[in-house]
Structure 1
Amino acid sequence: MSDGYDLVVIGAGSGGVRAARMAATYGARVAIVEEFRVGGTCVIRGCVPKKLYVYAARFTELFDVAQSFGWQVDAKFDWPTLVANKEKEITRLEQAYTANLEKPGVEIIRDRAVVTGPNSVHMVNGKRDLQAKTILIATGAQPSIPAIPGAELGISSNEAFDLPALPHSILIEGGGYIAVEFATIFAGLGVDTTIIYRGDCILRGFDDDMRRGLEAGLQDRGIKLIYQTTIKSLAKVGSDIAATFSDGVVAPYGAVMFATGRVPNVKHLGLETAGVKLTPAGAIAVDGYSQSSCPSIYAVGDVTGRAALTPVAIREGWYFAETVFNNNPMMVDHSQIPTAVFSDPEIGVIGLTEPEAATHGDIDVYVARFRPMMNTLSTKTERTILKLIVGANGGKVLGVQILGPGAAEMIQLVAIPIGMGATKADFDRAMALHPTAAEELVTFKEQTYTYRNGAKV
């Protein structure tokens, strides 16, 4: 087979697969190179298995609430069963991704790729060199592990899905969505769970009501939070791992997990041979069309450091193929991206936070807090929170923040009117569906508070 291609994609994750498949449907000769498994982080060790484990963890609370509805539940959890069923599902998805690539004629190469020039890629294991008119880097990102003594004793999100057994306790370092989601999972499955974070509250960058609401929800579920502290070292002590904190405290845990961010996979790719420039954060610098500083090399997904979300990578891969192989230049709009945190309680957000919106001019803020209906027959006091942020006097909707059951599903639908530039009047025009949590978004009558000239009123 000839080693000349119109496109060589490095990385068979969500963005790379979409780009390769669409380019092939437009008549390009395409090869995609992957050294691990087709599907990338999302399918294999990211959002898909994570959501499955979140579902598993939520049964604990459902069993508790069930008693208030007259059910008597006697259940026990089996970790190996969950791991095995998860593996079965991601294997099915990997096969589906592979079939979707092969159908339009994409050649899948199981190897490690290194860029050797603007139009050449070397296969490390197969000792094969490919020539390509265009190269697309879609290698994603990997967990960032702090450089501390004993760091090798900890795990990351990569290993968390396949532990041989659940630990009796776990310490999770980090305050982002990966940390709080895995805290939800482990705590829900019966593990004594602690989060340690260098900041003063989890989910930096999110709206304060969402942060504090989730903080309270995690604590209600027995998750301990240690703020303004970091792990300085780890050491093996018997069957446990002793963590030494920055304040001098030493404590043993059954496992320690690092959720301290992710870094773009650019090392040992040979990008310097083609003059591909990186951002100060170590991501591949690209323009609005995902083109790098080398005209023949493009990049999509987490490796670009733009928005580390699977749907964004897919959209970037799609628009890359449209631009380069369908003569239809398209740029992804990164300004309105719905985001979910699959913690418990769940969070869904889109648009500006309250402080961000207040810098744009006068705004009105509407907030609703209430017990989810499922909890009203029980003693649970947790609150759902919905926040609508709009321009003053019924102006454009600038942001929506939701915390509570179904938040992610609600925010996906809210993204449609937000993308259309909806105003408060447009939301008011929608008929409420009762009884639902989402009806609060279309029944707000009076502002909870406002901002005028930058000051909260």
Structure 2
Amino acid sequence: MSEDFDVDLFVIGGGSGGVRAARIAAGYGAKVSLAEEYRIGGTCVIRGCVPKKLMVYAGRFADEFEDAAGFGWSVRKPRFEWSVMKARRDAEVARLEGIYDTNLERAGVTLIADRAVIEDTHTVRLVRSGERVRAKTILVAVGAHPVKVPVIPGGDLGITSNEVFELESLPERILVVGGGYIAVEFAGIFASLGSRTTLLHRGEYLLRGFDQEIREALGHAYDKRMDLRLGRTLERLERRDTGIAATLDDGTILEVDHVLVATGRVPNVAGLGLDAVGIETDKGGAIPVDAFSQTRIPSIYAVGDVTNRAALTPIAIREGHAFADTVFGGKPWAVNHDLIATAVFSTPEIGTVGLTEDQARERYGDIDVYKSSFRPMKATLSGSDERVLMKLIVDCASDKVLGVHVIGYDAGEIIQAVAIAVTMGATKADFDRTIAVHPTVGEELVTMRVPAVTKRPEGVG
């Protein structure tokens, strides 16, 4: 390191991407400092994936208790205690935060509990202390934050996915606004825990960008679990003695205890100092970077949600790792954002990897679509009306599996394993010659033989 610099790498932001980059870079011998103004762990650990998934587990016990009777169990009427769940959830988050701190310190990373802003291409300023740090390389990994409130009368009465973790009691009535991952997951959580839940979305289907049949299946399932209002918008909110009155665009008034607004997230670039170095954000507020996460300024990089390439924790981690390997390890590589497996922890759960049916048809033309919709074995004794839908999208010309889509029990776990095969370029023939594990839900993926939808070129098949 040149004497002109205090550190080799200064990381702004202690979320998943920044933490991974700092640890890997330090492992290569770099002198690394990391500044985080809130808590180490970022959105995922502190107020996102981890605490939300714990709440998903809590909600699913309601179904388990009900299903148990069909298997001979006599279960007394269960009672849920929000305060117990919240205390244990928050304790687990604190434990994980401590592990992140410890791992960074063991790696030799200097942690700074302060807000850092960029002053020039190699200098960051710590806002509270006023100290300036010269860095050979700066990595921006500040993530994103939820859209605050809807721009409507009374919009400030709404809360976001940040504040929802601070609720001291389970709402008796809650309105969730949005149709993406966060809205869908929290609506499922509150409905399962016993809140009278309304999910409001302006579109005709939930989860834009997902396979259409998966979207429709989720809509049917949620319509049974909660008050689902599609094709509707929120006009205004008003505080009343008995709650919050939410007026919809059709004149309907819903009275609820809380309104959770989950209509999107925006990169945390305000006041970051990007203008000082001439970095302009794109129309969505994200920092433009190349395949190696480098900005237009050679000494400044950015990873994770602040770049808005794919706002998922595993992607931020991969980008942070790739950055450190490339810049400090002499092993350049770039993250492939074209094939990303993901899960939505709704109830029923969704797992997906690759192209949707519509995307595949547009890109490849001739495709086969294999489908299986069935009642899982567990539901036969429980009496549940739960169903599973699985789809394989296959290119007719090459037989390559282009996409796999699952909605139903443990879809996330299933898709993680299947994603390995799809990433390796598996064909339908590879799936066919795989011996099924019986009896499982996942075996359907290797036993589907006849396409439900087919469009093959002449002479094929």
The TM tier, using the shorter chain, reads over 0.9
Where does residue 130 of structure 2 map in the other structure? 127
Give the whole-Å Cα distance in 2 for the aligned partners of 1:138 and 1:152: 28
Where does residue 370 of structure 2 map in the other structure? 366
Aligned partner of 1:263 among 257, 262, 266: 266
Aligned partner of 2:221 among 211, 217, 223: 217
2:317 maps to 1:277: no
Aligned partner of 1:390 among 394, 397, 402: 394
Where does residue 408 of structure 2 map in the other structure? 404
* Contact kept? 1:410, 1:438, Cα under 8 Å: yes
Counterpart mapping for 1:315-394 below 5 A: 315-359=318-362, 360-392=364-396
- TM-superposed CA distance for 1:225, in Å, is 1.1
Give the whole-Å Cα distance in 1 for the aligned partners of 2:203 and 2:393: 26
Aligned partner of 1:58 among 60, 68, 88: 60
Q: Aligned partner of 1:442: which letter?
A: V
Cα deviation 1:191-211 (Å, max 9, x = unaligned): 000011110111111111111
Give the whole-Å Cα distance in 2 for the aligned partners of 1:256 and 1:375: 33
Give the whole-Å Cα distance in 2 for the aligned partners of 1:339 and 1:366: 20
Where does residue 173 of structure 2 map in the other structure? 169
Q: Aligned partner of 1:46: which letter?
A: G
- TM-superposed CA distance for 1:451, in Å, is 3.0
Give the whole-Å Cα distance in 2 for the aligned partners of 1:120 and 1:89: 36
Cα deviation 1:141-173 (Å, max 9, x = unaligned): 100132222222111111112201111110011
Give the whole-Å Cα distance in 2 for the aligned partners of 1:328 and 1:228: 49
Give the whole-Å Cα distance in 1 for the aligned partners of 2:420 and 2:254: 48
Aligned partner of 1:40 among 33, 42, 53: 42
Cα deviation 1:286-309 (Å, max 9, x = unaligned): 000000111111000000000011
Where does residue 26 of structure 1 map in the other structure? 28
Where does residue 205 of structure 1 map in the other structure? 209
- TM-superposed CA distance for 1:102, in Å, is 0.5
Question: What is the SS of the residue equivalent to 2:288?
Answer: coil
Aligned partner of 1:298 among 294, 297, 301: 301
Aligned partner of 2:424 among 420, 424, 437: 420
- TM-superposed CA distance for 1:244, in Å, is 1.8
2:400 maps to 1:433: no
- TM-superposed CA distance for 1:21, in Å, is 0.7
* Contact kept? 2:5, 2:136, Cα under 8 Å: no
Give the whole-Å Cα distance in 1 for the aligned partners of 2:397 and 2:438: 26
Where does residue 186 of structure 2 map in the other structure? 182
What stretches of structure 2 of length at least 5 have no aligned partner?
Answer: none
* Contact kept? 1:4, 1:132, Cα under 8 Å: yes
* Contact kept? 2:120, 2:277, Cα under 8 Å: yes
2:196 maps to 1:192: yes
Cα deviation 1:222-267 (Å, max 9, x = unaligned): x111122211221110141111222232221111000101111101
Question: What is the SS of the residue equivalent to 2:275?
Answer: helix
Q: TM-score, normalised by structure 1?
A: 0.97
Give the whole-Å Cα distance in 2 for the aligned partners of 1:56 and 1:10: 34
- TM-superposed CA distance for 1:381, in Å, is 2.1
- TM-superposed CA distance for 1:452, in Å, is 4.8
Q: Aligned partner of 2:111: which letter?
A: I
Give the whole-Å Cα distance in 2 for the aligned partners of 1:46 and 1:415: 23
Give the whole-Å Cα distance in 2 for the aligned partners of 1:239 and 1:91: 35
Q: Aligned partner of 1:333: which letter?
A: N
- TM-superposed CA distance for 1:394, in Å, is 6.8
- Percent identity reads 55
Give the whole-Å Cα distance in 2 for the aligned partners of 1:142 and 1:371: 39
* Contact kept? 2:28, 2:329, Cα under 8 Å: yes
* Contact kept? 2:117, 2:271, Cα under 8 Å: yes
Q: TM-score, normalised by structure 2?
A: 0.96
Give the whole-Å Cα distance in 2 for the aligned partners of 1:272 and 1:279: 13
Counterpart mapping for 1:59-74 below 5 A: 59-74=61-76
Q: Aligned partner of 2:251: which letter?
A: G
Cα deviation 1:5-58 (Å, max 9, x = unaligned): 111100000000000011111111110000000000000000000110000000
Cα deviation 1:330-380 (Å, max 9, x = unaligned): 100111110100000000000000000111121001000111111111332
Where does residue 6 of structure 1 map in the other structure? 8
Give the whole-Å Cα distance in 1 for the aligned partners of 2:151 and 2:122: 36
Q: Aligned partner of 2:99: which letter?
A: A
Give the whole-Å Cα distance in 2 for the aligned partners of 1:275 and 1:232: 39
Question: What is the SS of the residue equivalent to 1:377?
Answer: helix
* Contact kept? 2:14, 2:34, Cα under 8 Å: yes
What stretches of structure 1 of length at least 5 have no aligned partner?
Answer: none
Q: Which moved more, 1:300-309 or 1:384-393?
A: 384-393
Aligned partner of 2:163 among 159, 162, 168: 159
Where does residue 87 of structure 1 map in the other structure? 90
- TM-superposed CA distance for 1:393, in Å, is 6.4
